[in-house]
């Protein structure tokens, strides 16, 4: 028995090392796949080793869960388009919280008599896991744009209600942890679970759609923290390490994205983007100058350098492969083509990177916002495909704008700007974009994929 436990601990240590190395590899696009595979292999080894432990005496439900879960996961991965990837990531965060919640409840039901510190850990796991579950469901519904409005849902006394719910959860936690064997302890934990579910909803509904990338990374952090806490409950060292890694990386990513938006985490959590506007935005003056694909072709054909700024519209039209074709024909024409990536473009962290990687666009062609901005004055054409708020110059020029202070890709400084949009609709933040009215901006209206295909055809027909 002692030898088996030692072997299990050794496998856990090796698995933890693969997680750390996997995180390191995933920090670079060129090695991200290897990092993901290495971490998956480490987790698979840990799961197999755990199942071989003598204390596991019944495999029926475990195997059934593995088979059913694998089938559902494979179907979701196969059938989910890139446009729905943020929603799926949000749901996976919620499932992680639900798993930790179930572990906490299972441990309490199996062994009601727990010391105070263990009761506190069970309560914390239930709280964080349930908030992650309900918050992720709301985030998913907002991203679907069908069940809950993407704009902040606000009502009078909202923060007071949230504070009262949190206070009730704290009181219930103290009551539960001090005597987990009491007859009413299960009822108290049930009430705490219900209140935590409500708290998750209350925390996410006032957050606007423009903040969804930050919310998803924050909920990912919550799911890691909940997993770490559940590791303490069942005394599983690897679960503690894995949860801590996910929790810490999620918090770091959240801070990075908040910095990219020039906002604090508290500002994101306590109010949605555009929910409280500091003043009336300046009136946008200028004239819209629409162009057709053949006219845009002449502009691109004469350009020595082109920067493409992808946004959510690129994902909606599934145009990533077509934009790679356009890149190839422009490079054959002697044009330098780069992609400018804003940290919060899209609906989840790294959305644009994943989208372009799917189309096999070289990693070297992707340039971060801080690296591209100093060179923007030398760019002949900046082509914006489905992006809006991340290129809005009001963030730099209009103190009354809700976007004021948010770092943007400074596309307006390019010699010519071509904006590809379906219409003149506002971005997710609900803010007008004065870039569209600039003298150096041309608007190419229509579906992004169709417009890009027309441009590719123009290049091919000219040769």
Digit-coded pLDDT (tens) for 84-137: 778 888 889 999 999 999 999 999 999 998 999 999 999 999 999 999 999 999
- Mark 436-453 as b/e (b = at least 16 C-beta within 10 Å): bbbebbbbbebbbbebbb
Distance CA 264, CA 273 (A): 12
Given a cut of 90, is residue 53 above it in pLDDT?
A: no
Least confident of 154-168, 270-284, 288-302, 430-444: 270-284
| pTM, to two decimals | 0.81
Average pLDDT over residues 321-331: 95
Catalytic member of 211, 364, 377, 389: 389
Given a cut of 70, is residue 143 above it in pLDDT?
A: yes
Q: How confident is the model at residue 277 (pLDDT cuts 50, 70, 90)?
A: very low
What pLDDT is recorded for position 413? 95
Given a cut of 70, is residue 428 above it in pLDDT?
A: no
3-class DSSP state of 305: strand
Query: If you compute the radius of gyration of the chain from its CA atoms, what whole number of angstroms results?
Result: 25
What pLDDT is recorded for position 278? 41
- CATH T-level fold of 293-462: Rossmann fold (3.40.50)
Given a cut of 50, is residue 420 above it in pLDDT?
A: yes
What pLDDT is recorded for position 283? 58
Cβ–Cβ < 8 Å for 202, 162? yes
How big is the chain, counted in residues?
Answer: 463
3-class DSSP state of 386: coil
Given a cut of 90, is residue 159 above it in pLDDT?
A: no
What pLDDT is recorded for position 28? 77
Q: How confident is the model at residue 244 (pLDDT cuts 50, 70, 90)?
A: very high
3-class DSSP state of 309: strand
Average pLDDT over residues 10-14: 90
Distance CA 336, CA 365 (A): 9
Average pLDDT over residues 434-444: 93
Q: Exposed (0-12), middle (13-18) or buried (19+): which is 110, by Cβ within 10 Å?
A: exposed
What pLDDT is recorded for position 147? 76
Given a cut of 50, is residue 177 above it in pLDDT?
A: yes
Average pLDDT over residues 336-350: 87
What pLDDT is recorded for position 371? 94
Least confident of 101-115, 235-249, 424-438: 424-438
Given a cut of 80, is residue 267 above it in pLDDT?
A: no
115 torsion bin: left (phi>0), alpha (psi -120 to 50), beta (else): beta
Consecutive H or E run containing 127: helix 116-144
Cβ–Cβ < 8 Å for 290, 424? no
Q: Does residue 389 carry a catalytic annotation?
A: yes
Q: How confident is the model at residue 7 (pLDDT cuts 50, 70, 90)?
A: confident
């Amino acid at each position: 028995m002692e030898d088996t436990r030692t072997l299990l601990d050794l496998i856990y240590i090796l698995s933890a090392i693969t997680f750390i190395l996997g995180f390191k590899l995933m920090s670079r696009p060129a090695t991200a796949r290897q990092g993901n595979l290495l971490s998956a292999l480490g987790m698979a080894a840990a799961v197999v080793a755990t199942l071989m432990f003598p204390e596991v005496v019944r495999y029926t439900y475990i195997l059934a869960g593995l088979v059913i879960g694998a089938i559902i996961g494979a179907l979701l991965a196969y059938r989910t388009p890139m446009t729905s990837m943020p929603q799926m990531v949000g749901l996976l965060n919620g499932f992680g919280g639900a798993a930790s919640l179930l572990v906490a409840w299972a441990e309490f039901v199996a062994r009601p008599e727990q010391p105070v510190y263990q009761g506190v850990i069970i309560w914390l796991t239930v709280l964080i896991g349930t908030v992650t579950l309900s918050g992720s469901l709301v985030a998913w519904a907002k991203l679907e744009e069908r069940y809950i409005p993407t704009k902040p849902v606000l009502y009078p006394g909202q923060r007071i209600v949230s504070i009262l719910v949190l206070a009730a959860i704290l009181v219930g936690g103290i009551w539960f942890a001090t005597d987990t064997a009491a007859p009413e302890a299960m009822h108290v934990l049930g009430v705490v679970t219900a209140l935590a579910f409500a708290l998750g909803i209350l925390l996410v509904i006032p957050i606007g759609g423009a903040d969804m990338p930050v919310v998803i990374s924050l909920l990912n952090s919550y799911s890691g923290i909940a997993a770490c806490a559940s590791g303490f409950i069942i005394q599983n060292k690897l679960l503690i390490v894995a949860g801590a890694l996910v929790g810490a990386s999620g918090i770091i990513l959240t801070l990075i994205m908040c910095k990219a938006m020039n906002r604090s985490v508290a500002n994101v959590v306590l109010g949605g983007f555009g929910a409280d506007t500091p003043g009336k935005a300046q009136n946008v003056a200028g004239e819209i100058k629409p162009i057709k694909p053949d006219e845009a072709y002449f502009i691109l054909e004469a350009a020595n350098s082109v920067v493409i700024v992808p946004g959510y519209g690129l994902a909606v039209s599934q145009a990533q492969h077509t934009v790679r074709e356009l890149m190839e024909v422009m490079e054959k024409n002697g044009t330098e083509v780069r992609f400018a990536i804003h940290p919060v473009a899209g609906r989840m962290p790294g959305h644009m990177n994943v989208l372009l990687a799917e189309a096999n666009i070289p990693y070297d062609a992707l340039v971060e916002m801080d690296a591209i901005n100093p060179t923007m004055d030398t760019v002949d054409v900046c082509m914006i495909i489905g992006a809006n708020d991340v290129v809005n110059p009001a963030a730099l020029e209009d103190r009354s704008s809700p976007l004021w202070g948010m770092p943007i890709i400074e596309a307006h400084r390019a010699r010519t700007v071509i904006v590809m949009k379906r219409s003149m609709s506002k971005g997710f933040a609900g803010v007008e974009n004065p870039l569209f009215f600039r003298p150096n901006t041309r608007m190419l209206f229509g579906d992004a994929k169709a417009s890009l295909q027309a441009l590719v055809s123009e290049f091919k027909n000219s040769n």
